[in-house]
Amino acid sequence: MLAWFDANGRDLPWRRTHDPYAILVSEVMLQQTQVERVIPRYCEWLERWPTVEALAATPIAGIIRAWQGLGYNRRGVNLHRAAQHVAEHGWPEDLTELPGVGPYTAAAVSSFAFGRPTLPVDTNVRRVQERTGHDFSPVAGQALMDLGATVCLARIPRCGVCPLAAGCASRGRRYEPLRKQSRFEGSFRQRRAGTLRLVSAAKQPLAELDAEAVDSLARDGLVEVEDGVVGLPREATIRA
């Protein structure tokens, strides 16, 4: 499999660095967002904020505006809070202490940035594990991710080109389509996104906005309401 990865692995910009900040940015952006959408935004982000200190020093309003279009804007807020924590205290031994960092993201940064013997198990890695019935070494992490993303596909695996096919108990199987995410068009997520775009462009009177969306955004720390006017939060309102 590692030989297959050497010949077929994806050339992704976050694989060219061991900087924990850069890898954290990629992992947060990749949560529920396709790789193709993330690549240009990741490069733009690091050009604008090349270090964790640069990001930490930026007012949160700028972060929220820069995150527009990536979806799940709370991720950008948590990334900013994590950068502030690291800038002040350094990288914690337990990375799940950082805002928005769960077990998978912690394992990915630990492995790819710090070289710790940890296998990050995302959806693709778990699929390969379950279908083959094998355990894998942490050195196979990125190879497993690419195998699951490009060969061991969710519905119709490409078993004919899989380097693990000879020993795979699931070879040749087909799978039912996964449950699709609820439609964005007409959803409450769309209402939230539209409201946040308006507020990102300029402060808005609360009376002219979707009050339910504003309330939800405010709970997530993405907007604040003051004297009937809705704007992006001031840095002091979300500092950890």
Token pair for residue 13? 């910009």
Neighbours of 226 (CB within 10 A): 10
Residues designated as active site: 27
- In the three-class reduction of DSSP (H, G, I as helix; E, B as strand; rest coil), residue 225 is classed as strand
Which amino acid makes up residue 4? W
Residue found by looking up tokens 């699951």 in the block: 148
With H, G, I as helix, E, B as strand and everything else as coil, classify residue 64. Answer: helix
The rounded radius of gyration (Å) of the Cα atoms in the chain is 20
Q: Are 198 and 223 in contact (CB under 8 A)?
A: no
- Alpha carbon distance 237, 239 (integer Å): 6
